[in-house]
Amino acid sequence: MNRRWVGPRGLEIVPAVRAGQQVLRVRRYGRLVADCFSVEAVAMHVDLADLCEVVELAGRTSSHHR
């Protein structure tokens, strides 16, 4: 499952790999803002309390909704 967090004013944080290292990629309205090597670095761009994790729900099967 892919992880993703969204925040105010078009903010999105996704895990990524940069130069072989795991980073948290911060984007605003699809544009790269920063690749952060720690949660503390992400906090320089957004109040962490404003972030919501996007959870993808499993697809519904037709047998459950007849």
Task: Please say if the pLDDT value at position 65 is more than 70.
Answer: no
- Token pair belonging to 37: 């090597």
Find the angle CA(40)-CA(31)-CA(38) to the nearest 5 degrees. Answer: 15
Q: Per-residue pLDDT for 66 more than 60?
A: no
The better pLDDT of the pair 49, 59 is held by: 49
* Distance, CA of 31 to CA of 25 (rounded, Å): 10
Q: What residues contact residue 51 under an 8 Å CB cut-off, 6+ apart?
A: 5, 6, 7, 11, 13
Domain boundaries, the chain: 5-53
Give this prediction's pTM.
Answer: 0.79
Rg (alpha carbons) of the chain, rounded to whole number = 15
For residue 1, pLDDT over 60 is answered with: no
pLDDT digits (tens, 9 = 90+) for 11-56: 999 999 999 999 999 999 999 999 999 999 999 999 999 999 998 8
Beta strands in the chain (DSSP E): 5-7, 11-18, 21-28, 31-36, 52-53
